Amino acid sequence: MTPSRAFLDTNVLVYLFDHEVPAKTERARNLLEQAEPGELVLSAQVLSEFYVVVTRKLERPLDSSQATQAVDWLALFPVIPIGAALVKTAIQTSRASQVSYWDSLILATAAAGGCERLLTEDLKHGQVFESVRVENPFRDQPF
């Protein structure tokens, strides 16, 4: 059985390098290690946000060289490009659902990438937007 495609939000990837919450680091690592090829998808937006967060917002930030290596590695996953059509869809979604523009862009990109699931902490677990179901991969973890 082919696993459903899942879109990785920035926060899941940041936990790979945020060692302040070891259980989330381990869970994020397990998600990536256990995934089938092509199962996990991300976008240029996620890569950009990831770089900024891991170099500026972590208690122990990565230096630019380490962060660049991490982006190079993450770019091996399928990366969905963002164009004008996705921006317009995100604007419509944001207006209709009261979700932030940036989260709406993630949702639109996930749908465009054929993802059935969005793995994130930023939206309510179980919510469904169009064809994308939100899953918090850390929900049942004791933190």
Summarised one tens digit per residue, pLDDT across range 43-65 is: 999 999 999 999 999 999 999 99
Structure tokens at 89: 């869809």
- The answer to whether residue 97 is domain-embedded is no
The tally of domains found in the chain comes to: 1
Q: Which domain holds residue 23?
A: 6-81+113-135
Q: At 56, which CATH number?
A: 3.40.50
- The answer to whether residue 51 is domain-embedded is yes
- The answer to whether residue 107 is domain-embedded is no
CA gap 31, 36 in Å, rounded: 10
Greatest alpha-carbon pair distance for the chain in Å reads 41
Tens-digit pLDDT profile for residues 81-105: 999 999 999 999 999 998 999 999 9
> Residue 111 pLDDT more than 80?
yes
Instruction: State the pLDDT at residue 141.
Output: 59
Residue type, 136: N
DSSP state for residue 90 in the 8-state scheme:
H
